[in-house]
Amino acid sequence: MTDLDRIFEIKKEMGEELLILAHHYQSDDIIKTADFVGDSLKLAQYAQQNKSAKYIVFCGVYFMSETADILTEDWQKVLQPAITAGCPMADMADKEQAEKAWEVITEELGCDIVPITYVNSKAEIKAFCGRHGGTTVTSGNAVKVVDWGIKQNKVILFLPDRNLGRNTAYDLGIPLENMAEYDPKTESLEYSCGKDDVKIVLWKGYCHVHHKITVKHIEDARRIHPDAQVIVHPECQFEIAQAADGKGSTEYLINQVKNGEKGSKWIIGTEHNLVKRLKDTYTDKEIYILDTSSVCTNMNRTNPQNLLETLEDIQKGNFEKQVKVDKAVAEDALKSLETMLSLV
Ligand code: 13P
Ligand code: SF4
Tens of pLDDT, residue by residue over 98-146, are 999 999 999 999 999 999 999 999 999 999 999 999 999 999 999 999 9
Are the CB atoms for 41 and 251 separated by under 8 Å?
A: yes
Strands 188-190 and 179-183: antiparallel
pLDDT by residue (tens digit) across 250-265? 999 999 999 999 999 9
Give me the sheet containing 200-203, strands edge to edge: 135-137, 113-118, 155-159, 200-203, 179-183, 188-190
Q: Ligand 1: which atom is nearest the Cα of residue 23? A: 4
Q: Could you tell me which residues come within 8 angstroms of residue 92 by beta carbon, excluding any fewer than 6 positions away?
A: 160, 184, 203, 204, 205, 206
Give the pLDDT confidence score for residue 207 in this predicted structure.
Answer: 98
Q: How far is the CA of 118 from the centre of ligand 2 (A)?
A: 12
Are the CB atoms for 139 and 249 separated by under 8 Å?
A: yes
Cα–Cα distance measured from residue 13 to residue 188, given in angstroms and rounded to the nearest whole number: 55
pLDDT by residue (tens digit) across 298-315? 999 999 999 999 999 999
Give the pLDDT confidence score for residue 217 in this predicted structure.
Answer: 98
Q: Could you tell me which residues come within 8 angstroms of residue 123 by beta carbon, excluding any fewer than 6 positions away?
A: 63, 66, 67, 70, 325, 326, 329, 330, 333
Give the pLDDT confidence score for residue 41 in this predicted structure.
Answer: 81
| Cβ of residue 40 lying under 6 Å from some atom of ligand 1 | yes
Asked if residue 44 has pLDDT above 90, the reply is no
- Say if domain 90-206 classifies as CATH 3.40.50.10800: yes
Q: 3-86+299-324: what CATH class?
A: alpha beta
Q: How far is the CA of 196 from the centre of ligand 2 (A)?
A: 34
The rounded percent of the chain whose pLDDT value lies above 90 is: 97
The yes-or-no answer to whether 90-206 and 213-289 have a common fold is yes
Domain regions of the chain by residue span: 3-86+299-324, 90-206, 213-289
| Cβ of residue 124 lying under 6 Å from some atom of ligand 1 | no
| Cβ of residue 296 lying under 6 Å from some atom of ligand 2 | yes
Give domain 213-289's CATH number out of 3.40.50.2020, 3.40.50.720, 3.40.50.10800, 1.10.1660.10. Answer: 3.40.50.10800
